[in-house]
Structure 1
Amino acid sequence: MEDSGEDPTTFAAHSLPSDPRLLATVTNAYLGTRVFHDTLHVSGVYNGAGRDTHRAVLPSPLNVRLEAPAGMGEPLTETFALDTNTGSFLHTLEGPHFRASQCIYAHRTLPHVLAFRVSIARLSPGSGPITLLLSSAFSPESPDLDLHQGPDFQGARYLYGHTLTPEQPRGPQQEVHMLWTPAPPDLTLGEGEEERTWDFLTVVGGSRAEAQACLTEALQLQARGALYTAHAQAWAQLWAECGLDMVGPLPLRQALRGSLYYLLSALPQPKAPGYICHGLSPGGLSNGSREECYWGHVFWDQDLWMFPNILMFHPEAARAILEYRIRTLGGALGNAQNLGYQDLQLFREAGGWDVVRAVAEFWCSRVEWSPREEKYHLRGVMSPDEYHSGVNNSVYTNVLVQNSLRFAAALAQDLGLPVPSQWLAVADKIKVPFDVEQNFHPEFDGYEPGEVVKQADVVLLGYPVPFSLSPDVRRKNLEIYEAVTSPQGPAMTWSMFAVGWMELKDTARARGLLDRSFASMTEPFKVWTENADGSGAVNFLTGMGGFLQAVLFGCTGFRVTRAGVTFDPVCVSGISRVSVSGIFYQGNKLNFSFSEDSVSVEVTARAGPWAPRLEAELWPSQARLSLLPGHKVSFPRSAGQIQRSPANLPGSSSSGFPGRTF
């Protein structure tokens, strides 16, 4: 997609940001670091007990900077660039006679590997040697790990140890084993050489054997000259199969690309074997040391702000995130018991139903019956609006309770299990605050219009929290809370206001809020901060997730329901086309694009013969168009639903409808 013809995929500058927190990150599903930073983190490796637990700091051998020696006598152009196409950070020094570049990356298909490569190329005739410096402050020490140096292995240094303090009493002290090829103080392109490249590897594993096996595999690729190529090709394949772009302003397109890059960086390559998710924290794997970015803890940010995007683009990773919640169910139940709520049982088998049932039982143990109002009340809660804590009957929270209980009841029926009568009784009778006179939802009992709120709260009703609202009430909620939401609030707030105005087809207002929703993105590497003033967490995946949802679910109108994926596309002001590639629904992979006049849908692949055939039902005509693999279907822009084809419709579209199949 194009606007001015500029490339939205590479972010370059001639200097680094003055705040080192805003340096680009390179991560994969197992390792993460900021470029030119002395720390790397390993997924799932935490040090400290209880509230002190945080990502364990491992010293980073990648903290190496390419420099020209003093007195070189050549004017040099220095460039720093994050290339999202290849998942690589590039540092280049170029003069009249040579170009030297450093490429830093977290290997896409070898998640235990971080690497950097340095290349020096001669640009003009001559045969003299060219020497560049490598500046490093690496020290094999950590405040979180008891580290020891071991014997070298295949030319690599060896550092191993374990965390100092387990997360739980009598819990394990996690092991870390790191092998790395140390960088020399300088590199020289020899006399008569035209170009040369050097690779430096860092490999981390949970055991010595794992680290050695991963290094051996990486060295084999390196020997064939394929180490970086395999990484770059994996990113190219990922982008070929997954994307979100538009015809619109370059800054907006860059924000989309950067946000999707950082989120995808946190996930494994599709079909990668053996991936175990340890949760996605607000600042990602590159951040989370003590006193930094919520210490690497995992919150609702993962489930509300990141997960919906992941579910559409990467269902395997979405499943792994759900499995993470299932694995940690015991801890959640223990927390509930420690807070004095119902003695929730641990179930015989760990699975999705166990989590759903535990949530339902928790809510039923938490509510109180009000004889005066003849409603269930939920007292003393912390809603998304952190300016008001310990409130009663948060409308956001109480609607979540309704949804959780009704979902649990429906799932129980699907599984042929008995449905406790209390679940639906609480769902039907829990108080959902509503001011009839002013036609809006007060945020909680006692909320007065005009009170300042920190962030999106009530406006989350409708999307992302399913809740039926009339257009008038939706508009009133948006107007009232937009006027009183703090400008210092977190990044995802304005994205949800934008979605609300898209639902109401107010395209000008939606565009203004869409632009505002990425004000927390910093230059030049599109790293987000939690707040627009630069404070809070950095590499803020939470805010990126909210922004991505504003386009992926707001512009398209996508809503995932039991019946299918509904759509109701809208081109907000200044955006003439939106393209979404590589989303999944029931084993089918689809591309979906639209302009002001038309919509196109194509099934590009099926996971297997078990994947059902799909169709698009258009509203209000109820015309149905078969979505056959490899055939693009286009029709005038309208709302509708992508759904399973009925068994009696083997592939023919409704007669008389002006859709086209290519």
Structure 2
Amino acid sequence: FPAPLAVTFCSALAALTGTFSHKLQSPSYTATHQIYAHHSLVHLMAFSITIRRSAGTSQPITVQLHAPFVPKSQDLDLQQGPDFHGAHYIYGQTLVPEVEGGPQPTVHMLWTPVPQAVTLHEEEQEQCWEFLTAVAESEEEAKRSYTEGLAHVAAGSLHSSHTHAWAALWRGCCVDLEGPMPLRQAVYGCLYYLLSAIPPQDTSGFRFHGISPGGLSNGTQGEDYWGHVFWDQDTWMFPNILLFYPKAARAILEYRIGTLEGALLNAQEQGYKGAKFPWESAATGREVCPEEIYGAQEIHITGDVLMAFEQYYYTTQDHKLFRMDGGWELVRAVAQYWCSRMVWSEVEQCYHIRGVMPPDEYHHQVDNSAYTNAVAQRSLNFAASIARDFLIPVPEEWVECAKKLKVPFDAERKYHPEYDGYSPGEPVKQADVVLLGFPLMHPMHPEVRRNDLMMYEPATELSGPAMTWSMFAVGWLELKEMERAQGQLNKCFNNITEPFKIWVENLDGSGAVNFLTGMGGFLQVILFGYTGFRITKTSLRFDPAFPSDVRKLEVTGVSYLGSKLKFSITKEEMRIGVTKCPLHPALEVVLEESGRRFPLHEGATSTRVNSMH
């Protein structure tokens, strides 16, 4: 294009519309490049080039384009098919199955050929060129998506249909803070990236494959963990999604149900009963971690998976998932696994779980990891509870193993050792014992909760994974120690990079990028720390606490038992608005201290409240 006297170039991410844009501005024209993954046509990516002439110019304007894509892959056996509606077409399958003899998934891709240049002619004031890419597991789905995209292009509605879908998503999920701008930006950035990773609101016929720590990863030479699914999904991301979008949360659980067969085989191969979910999961549920030690020892993942099912059940009372869609089979299999994984100690007269790696991966082959044993105990208690709800006989083994499982506790120092033999001050990689308080809600006195935080805060690696300090912040918020909470939350900002609020896993920039796990932990500080939300069997409890520089917090779109709620919290009061309320069950607010009850109806508000049933 003609060399202008002055050129400015800028890039931007519009989180509300899910669109990246790059703009080239000169005295004679503006060229804009937009790129987005279409939010309602979920198999479609799109980009556009728009050239707009400035007033007083008339010469042709040409923009050179460069498309680095080459249809080759070291992982896929790709074949070229016939062009389809002007699009190039390739298809193939993975060269190596996930496990020996396992399936080799297929991929089908259609894309609009990119010319070397586009030109805005003399008589044209503005022109837009749109390019589509459709990727799906079947030829039919790829072609259907591409055809729908072409129809939108012809109607001039491709980008607007995408932005309308994002607008609908944001309407159901809003977190407004009156506070420091960096905090507000971080919250919206985290929400945007997490919402980008969830299945569409209409999940009918859509097979969801889970959320990896780096989202839609590069997958080359171990980048972003090859897109595998860890406990990061169930423990760190899931609670935020559940709070707003239970249908998307259900799709995450359906992914785990769909991999149950692989989890059963994992347990069997190690000599145990029931289901052992893999440390790294992909399509089959078999262990795909490249380093055997993690798959063999970091078994807390199985309890983490079940904790997500428990939170979903108490928040939605979706009996169908458990009675008809495979949820109960998964719950039962996890309980069976934990019982078979324990051994009885005659000396201590309790059950032990030996030879594990805790969340703190600096240690392995330890006995009685406090977190692992506590999450196993929670699994068994939930399995027994839901069995009673469904009038299913509860195996006595489940009750006995839960009651007599050792969770290490130092009665003299009044804190939880990370495992048998842990020495106070020994370095810890990441949040571990502090997770007993939240999200596990393991019963303990506030003094013990404080001692755990004090013990492990200086011992925890400062440059460890980004989600760690979020859980320390939640702990201090529970104890109403605001300055300490703020100090821990501030550490999270060191993992945020500009200009698009991309999170790195570790302070040195290594690990997964964009690190959704860190974002999930950060959001839990706001959504479960500042509000004090706790999901229990009988209620959604809340006990707000936030630092002095946050003047007001509004959380809109909270889902609970079919209702949609808006919470408005200041230092002086809390108001609850009901934006959607089914006829049954009717919700009511309960003031914990006085026992006073306030029924909630659509449009109703209440103030200064502590829990809801």
TM over 0.5: yes
Please, which of 84, 106, 109 is the counterpart of residue 178 of structure 1? 109
Aligned ranges for residues 65-214 of structure 1 at < 5 Å? 69=1, 72-214=3-145
Q: Distance in 2 between matches of 1:313 and 1:492?
A: 21
Mapped contact 2:30–2:52 kept (Cα < 8 A): yes
Q: Does 1:626 align with 2:599?
A: yes
Q: Which has the higher helix share?
A: 2
Q: Does 1:558 align with 2:530?
A: no
Mapped contact 2:504–2:511 kept (Cα < 8 A): yes
2:514 aligned partner: 539
1:349 CA displacement: 7.9
Amino acid in the other structure paired with 1:617? V
Q: Distance in 1 between matches of 2:86 and 2:376?
A: 58
Mapped contact 1:491–1:518 kept (Cα < 8 A): no
Please, which of 521, 525, 540 is the counterpart of residue 496 of structure 2? 521
Q: Does 1:479 align with 2:454?
A: yes
Question: Tell me, what secondary structure is at the counterpart of 2:5?
Answer: coil
Q: Distance in 1 between matches of 2:98 and 2:119?
A: 47
Q: Distance in 2 between matches of 1:138 and 1:408?
A: 49
Please, which of 382, 388, 399 is the counterpart of residue 424 of structure 1? 399
1:556 CA displacement: 0.4
Report the TM-score when normalising by structure 2: 0.90
Mapped contact 2:24–2:30 kept (Cα < 8 A): yes
Deviations 1:604-657 (A, max 9, x none): 124x54x422121122122222221123x1413x5x1121xxxxxxxxxxxxxx
Mapped contact 2:473–2:488 kept (Cα < 8 A): yes
1:348 CA displacement: 12
Question: Tell me, what secondary structure is at the counterpart of 2:494?
Answer: coil
Q: Which moved more, 1:490-499 or 1:179-188?
A: 179-188
Amino acid in the other structure paired with 2:193? Y
Mapped contact 1:289–1:296 kept (Cα < 8 A): no
Question: Between Structure 1 and Structure 2, how many residues are aligned?
Answer: 569
Mapped contact 1:518–1:547 kept (Cα < 8 A): no
Mapped contact 1:252–1:515 kept (Cα < 8 A): no
Amino acid in the other structure paired with 2:11? F
Q: Distance in 2 between matches of 1:343 and 1:190?
A: 68
Please, which of 260, 281, 295 is the counterpart of residue 212 of structure 2? 281
Amino acid in the other structure paired with 1:323? E
Q: Distance in 1 between matches of 2:386 and 2:274?
A: 23
1:300 aligned partner: 231
Mapped contact 2:199–2:251 kept (Cα < 8 A): no
Q: Distance in 1 between matches of 2:274 and 2:586?
A: 45
Question: Tell me, what secondary structure is at the counterpart of 1:149?
Answer: strand
Please, which of 316, 324, 348 is the counterpart of residue 255 of structure 2? 324
Q: Distance in 1 between matches of 2:432 and 2:450?
A: 14
1:261 CA displacement: 0.6
Mapped contact 2:81–2:90 kept (Cα < 8 A): yes
Q: Does 1:263 align with 2:235?
A: no
Question: Tell me, what secondary structure is at the counterpart of 1:365?
Answer: helix
1:521 CA displacement: 1.4
Question: Tell me, what secondary structure is at the counterpart of 1:518?
Answer: helix
Aligned ranges for residues 290-369 of structure 1 at < 5 Å? 290-342=221-273, 351-369=326-344
1:231 aligned partner: 162
Mapped contact 2:578–2:602 kept (Cα < 8 A): yes
Aligned ranges for residues 338-487 of structure 1 at < 5 Å? 338-342=269-273, 351-487=326-462
Amino acid in the other structure paired with 1:615? E
1:219 CA displacement: 0.9
Aligned ranges for residues 579-598 of structure 1 at < 5 Å? 579-598=554-573
Please, which of 136, 150, 153 is the counterpart of residue 222 of structure 1? 153
Mapped contact 2:531–2:545 kept (Cα < 8 A): yes
Amino acid in the other structure paired with 2:54? L
Question: Tell me, what secondary structure is at the counterpart of 1:537?
Answer: coil
Mapped contact 2:274–2:334 kept (Cα < 8 A): no
- Closer/same/farther in 2, CA of residues 344 and 279 from structure 1, 3 Å limit: closer
Mapped contact 1:242–1:581 kept (Cα < 8 A): yes
Q: Does 1:615 align with 2:588?
A: yes
Deviations 1:139-167 (A, max 9, x none): 11111111122221111111122211222
Q: Distance in 2 between matches of 1:282 and 1:214?
A: 27
- Closer/same/farther in 2, CA of residues 618 and 343 from structure 1, 3 Å limit: closer
Q: Distance in 1 between matches of 2:221 and 2:248?
A: 27
Q: Distance in 2 between matches of 1:326 and 1:205?
A: 22
Amino acid in the other structure paired with 1:183? V
Mapped contact 2:503–2:514 kept (Cα < 8 A): yes
Question: Tell me, what secondary structure is at the counterpart of 1:517?
Answer: helix
1:73 CA displacement: 3.0
1:187 CA displacement: 1.2
Amino acid in the other structure paired with 1:170? G
Mapped contact 2:43–2:135 kept (Cα < 8 A): yes
1:350 CA displacement: 6.1
Mapped contact 2:217–2:224 kept (Cα < 8 A): no
Q: Which moved more, 1:110-119 or 1:129-138?
A: 129-138
Q: Distance in 2 between matches of 1:96 and 1:332?
A: 62
Q: Distance in 2 between matches of 1:173 and 1:616?
A: 52
1:409 CA displacement: 0.9
Q: Distance in 2 between matches of 1:531 and 1:404?
A: 31
Amino acid in the other structure paired with 2:497? T
1:173 CA displacement: 2.4
Mapped contact 2:569–2:575 kept (Cα < 8 A): yes
1:311 CA displacement: 0.9
Q: Distance in 2 between matches of 1:367 and 1:237?
A: 48
Mapped contact 2:172–2:556 kept (Cα < 8 A): yes
Deviations 1:529-579 (A, max 9, x none): 111221111111111111111110011000111111000011223111111
2:543 aligned partner: 568
Mapped contact 2:217–2:223 kept (Cα < 8 A): no
Percent identical: 55
Q: Distance in 2 between matches of 1:297 and 1:289?
A: 12
- Closer/same/farther in 2, CA of residues 343 and 592 from structure 1, 3 Å limit: closer
1:642 aligned partner: 612
Q: Distance in 1 between matches of 2:568 and 2:406?
A: 40
1:518 CA displacement: 3.2
1:189 CA displacement: 1.3
Report the TM-score when normalising by structure 1: 0.83
Mapped contact 2:80–2:89 kept (Cα < 8 A): yes
Mapped contact 1:492–1:542 kept (Cα < 8 A): yes
1:247 CA displacement: 1.0
1:243 CA displacement: 1.5
1:268 CA displacement: 2.5
1:51 aligned partner: none
Amino acid in the other structure paired with 1:89? F
Mapped contact 2:200–2:248 kept (Cα < 8 A): no
Q: Which moved more, 1:134-143 or 1:438-447?
A: 134-143
Mapped contact 2:263–2:275 kept (Cα < 8 A): no
1:72 CA displacement: 0.7
1:289 CA displacement: 3.4
- Closer/same/farther in 2, CA of residues 253 and 83 from structure 1, 3 Å limit: same
Q: Which moved more, 1:544-553 or 1:141-150?
A: 141-150
Amino acid in the other structure paired with 1:368? V
Mapped contact 1:571–1:577 kept (Cα < 8 A): no
Q: Distance in 1 between matches of 2:487 and 2:417?
A: 25
Deviations 1:399-454 (A, max 9, x none): 11211111111111111111111111111111111111111111111111111111
